[in-house]
Amino acid sequence: MSIKANDFVLEVEGLTVSFDGFKAVNDLSFYVNEGEIRVIIGPNGAGKTTVLDLICGRTQATTGSIKFRGKELTRMKEHEIVHTGVGRKFQNPSIYDDLTVFENLEISYPRGRSVFGALAFKRDKEVIREVEATAETIFLKDDLDKQAGLLSHGQKQWLEIGMLLIQKPDLLMLDEPVAGMSVAERKKTADLLNRITEGRSVLVVEHDMQFVEDIAHRVTVMHQGKVLSEGSMTRVKNDPKVIEVYLGH
Amino acid sequence: MFDEYTMSELTSILAMQGFAGLILFSVLVLMALGLAIIFGQMGVINMAHGEFMILGAYVTYLTAKLFETYLPSLFDGYFFVAMGLAFLASFALGVLVEWCMIRFLFKRPLDTLLATWGLSLILQQLYRTIFGAREVGVTLPDWMMGSYPLSETIEVPINGIFVMVLTLFISLCVYLLMFRSRWGKQVRAVVLNRPMAGAVGINTEKIDRYTFGIGCGVAGVAGSAFTMIGSTGPTSGQLYIVDTFLVVVFGGAQSLLGTIASAFTISQSQSTLEFFLSGSMAKVITLLLVVGILMLRPQGLFALKIRH
Amino acid sequence: MRNPSDLRLSNAGSPCQVSGRRLAVKALCALPVSLLLASHMAWAAPATSEVNTTGLAVTDDTVTVGILHSVTGTMAISETGSVQAEKLAIDQINAMGGVLGRKIEYIQEDGASDWPTFAEKSKKLLVNDKTAAVFGCWTSASRKAVLPVFEQYNGMLYYPTFYEGLEQSPNVIYTGQEATQQIIAGIDWVVKEKGAKTFYLLGSDYIWPRTSNKIARKHIEKLGLTVVGEEYYPLGHTQFNSVINKIKLKKPDVIYAIVVGGSNVAFYKQLNAAGIKLTSEKPLLLTISVTEDEILGIGGENIEGAYAAMKYFQSLDNPNNAAFVQAFKDKWGKDIVIGDVTQAAYLGPWLWKAAVEKAGSFDIDKVRAASPGIELTTAPEGYVKIHENHHLWSKTRVGLAQKDGQYKVVFESADLIEPNPFPVGYQ
Amino acid sequence: MQERAKALFMPRQDLIGFAVLALILIVILPLILDVFRLNLVGKYLTYSFVALGLVLCWGYGGILSLGQGLFFGLGGYCMAMFLKLEASDPVSTKIQSTPGIPDFMDWNQITAIPWWWQPFNSLTLSLIAVVLVPTLFAFIISVAMFKRRVGGVYFAIITQALAAILTILIIGQQGYTGGVNGITDLRTLLGWDIRSDNAKLVLYFVNCILLFGCLLIAQFIRKNKLGRILVAMRDREERVRFSGYDVANFKIFVFCLAAAISSVGGAMFTLQVGFMSPSFVGIVPSIEMVIFCAVGGRLSILGAVYGSLLVNWAKTSFSESFPELWLFAMGALFIGVVMAFPNGLASLFLRYIEPYLPAWYHGKAKPVQPAEVVEKAPLTSTDTQPETATSKSTEKQSDETVPVNSLEGGVYVD
Is residue D213 in some structural domain? yes
> Is D316 within 8 Å of D40 (Cβ atoms)?
yes
In a mutational test of the D interface, the residue from A84, A90, A98 whose CB has the highest number of chain D CBs within 10 Å is A98
Which residues in chain A have Cβ-Cβ distances shorter than 8 Å to B307?
A: 19, 24, 50
- Name the A residues in 101-140 with CB < 8 Å from any D CB: 102-104, 106-108, 110, 112-115, 118-119, 121, 123-125, 128, 132
Which residues in chain B have Cβ-Cβ distances shorter than 8 Å to A19?
A: 305-307
pLDDT at B254: 66
Q: What is the rounded distance in angstroms from the CA atom of residue D157 to the CA atom of residue D67? A: 9
Q: What is the rounded distance in angstroms from the CA atom of residue D170 to the CA atom of residue D148? A: 28
Size of interface A-B (CB pairs under 8 A): 12
Integer distance in angstroms from the first to the last C-alpha of chain A? 33
Q: Which residues pair with D27 in a beta bridge?
A: none
Phi-psi region of A238 (alpha: psi -120 to 50; beta: other; left: phi over 0): alpha
Peptide bond into C283 cis (omega under 30): yes
Q: What is the rounded distance in angstroms from the CA atom of residue A79 to the CA atom of residue A235? A: 37
> Is A105 within 8 Å of A146 (Cβ atoms)?
no
Q: D82 — contact with chain C (CB < 8 Å)?
A: no
What is the count of structural domains for chain D? 1
φ, ψ at D382 (rounded to 5°) = -65, -20
Averaged pLDDT of chain B: 84
> Is C132 within 8 Å of C65 (Cβ atoms)?
yes
- Report the run of H or E that residue B174 belongs to, with start and end: helix B158-179
φ, ψ at B264 (rounded to 5°) = -65, -50
Phi-psi region of D33 (alpha: psi -120 to 50; beta: other; left: phi over 0): beta
Closest CA to C293 of C338, C263, C331, C235: C338
What structural domains does chain C harbor? 4-177+316-394 (3.40.50.2300), 179-310+398-412 (3.40.50.2300)
> Is A41 within 8 Å of A219 (Cβ atoms)?
yes
Q: Which residues pair with C411 in a beta bridge?
A: C398
- Summarised one tens digit per residue, pLDDT across range C351-385 is 999 999 999 999 999 999 999 999 999 999 999 99
Which residues in chain D have Cβ-Cβ distances shorter than 8 Å to B106?
A: 388-390
Please count the CA atoms within 13 angstroms of the CA of D101 that sit on its side-chain side. 21
Q: How far is the CA of B81 from the CAs of B48, B95, B162, B222, C290, in angstroms?
A: 24, 21, 15, 14, 31
pLDDT at B75: 84
pLDDT at A43: 84
Closest CA to A104 of A114, A94, A119, A113: A94
Query: How far does the CA of residue B268 sit from the closest CA of chain D (Å)?
Result: 19
DSSP, residue by residue, D135-174? HHHHHHHHHHHHTTT--HHHHHHHHHHHHHHHHHHHHHTH
* Residue D127 structural domain: 7-400
* Residue A147 structural domain: 5-248
Chains A and D physically touch (3 or more Cβ atom pairs below 8 Å) = yes
φ, ψ at D8 (rounded to 5°) = -105, 25
Q: C207 — contact with chain B (CB < 8 Å)?
A: no
Which residues in chain D have Cβ-Cβ distances shorter than 8 Å to A104?
A: 232
Q: What is the rounded distance in angstroms from the CA atom of residue B305 to the CA atom of residue B290? A: 21
Closest CA to C182 of C290, C94, C105, C75: C290
Q: What is the rounded distance in angstroms from the CA atom of residue C222 to the CA atom of residue A168? A: 83
Which residues in chain B have Cβ-Cβ distances shorter than 8 Å to D291?
A: 114, 118
Please indicate, yes or no, whether the overall pTM of this predicted structure exceeds 0.90: no
| Spacing of C-alpha A247 from chain mean position | 27
pLDDT at C44: 57
- Summarised one tens digit per residue, pLDDT across range D34-81 is 888 899 899 999 999 999 999 999 999 989 999 999 999 999 999 999
Given a cut of 80, whether residue D23 has pLDDT beyond it is yes
φ, ψ at B217 (rounded to 5°) = -60, -45
CB-based contacts of A117, cutoff 8 Å, min separation 6:
A111
pLDDT at C4: 40
- Summarised one tens digit per residue, pLDDT across range C30-69 is 444 444 444 444 445 788 888 888 889 999 999 999 999 9
Closest residue to B279, CB basis, from C234, C273, C295: C234
Closest CA to B237 of B129, B158, B125, B105: B125
Closest residue to D277, CB basis, from C115, C123, C234: C115
Neighbours of D121 (CB within 10 A): 13
Q: What is the rounded distance in angstroms from the CA atom of residue C95 to the CA atom of residue D81? A: 49
Q: What is the mean pLDDT of residues D171-186?
A: 87
What is the count of structural domains for chain A? 1
Angle at D299 between CA D293 and CA D303, to 5 degrees: 50
- Summarised one tens digit per residue, pLDDT across range A191-242 is 888 888 777 888 999 888 888 888 888 999 998 888 888 888 888 888 888 8
Q: What is the rounded distance in angstroms from the CA atom of residue B127 to the CA atom of residue C55? A: 42
Percentage of chain D lying above the pLDDT 90 cut: 39
Give the residue on C whose Cα is nearest the Cα of D195. Answer: C152
Handedness of CA C193, C199, C205, C209 (dihedral sign): positive
> Is A230 within 8 Å of A219 (Cβ atoms)?
yes
Q: What is the rounded distance in angstroms from the CA atom of residue D9 to the CA atom of residue D42? A: 28
Q: What is the rounded distance in angstroms from the CA atom of residue A174 to the CA atom of residue A171? A: 10
Where are the domains positioned within chain B? 25-237
Which residues in chain B have Cβ-Cβ distances shorter than 8 Å to D330?
A: 118, 121
Q: B235 — contact with chain C (CB < 8 Å)?
A: yes
Closest CA to D174 of B50, C214, B90: C214
Neighbours of C348 (CB within 10 A): 26
Query: How far does the CA of residue B295 sit from the closest CA of chain A (Å)?
Result: 18
Q: What is the rounded distance in angstroms from the CA atom of residue D187 to the CA atom of residue D88? A: 10
Chains that touch D (3 or more CB pairs under 8 A): A, B, C
Q: What is the rounded distance in angstroms from the CA atom of residue B263 to the CA atom of residue B247? A: 6
Closest CA to C179 of C165, C199, C160: C165
Show pLDDT as tens, one digit a residue, over chain A (249 residues).
444 445 788 999 999 988 877 888 888 899 998 888 899 988 887 888 889 889 988 888 888 999 998 889 888 888 999 999 999 888 888 889 888 999 999 999 988 888 898 888 888 888 889 999 999 988 888 888 888 989 988 889 889 989 998 988 889 999 888 887 888 888 888 888 888 877 788 899 988 888 888 888 899 999 888 888 888 888 888 888 888 887 654
- Name the A residues in 185-214 with CB < 8 Å from any D CB: none
Q: D387 — contact with chain B (CB < 8 Å)?
A: yes
pLDDT at D90: 87
Is residue D244 in some structural domain? yes
> Is D86 within 8 Å of D141 (Cβ atoms)?
no
Q: What is the rounded distance in angstroms from the CA atom of residue A189 to the CA atom of residue A217? A: 16
Handedness of CA D20, D24, D27, D31 (dihedral sign): positive
CATH of the domain at A241: 3.40.50.300
Whether residue D229 and residue A118 make contact (CB cut-off 8 A), yes or no, is: yes
- Summarised one tens digit per residue, pLDDT across range C384-404 is 999 999 999 999 999 999 999
Query: How far does the CA of residue D174 sit from the closest CA of chain B (Å)?
Result: 12
Amino acid D81 reads: M
SS3 call for C258: strand
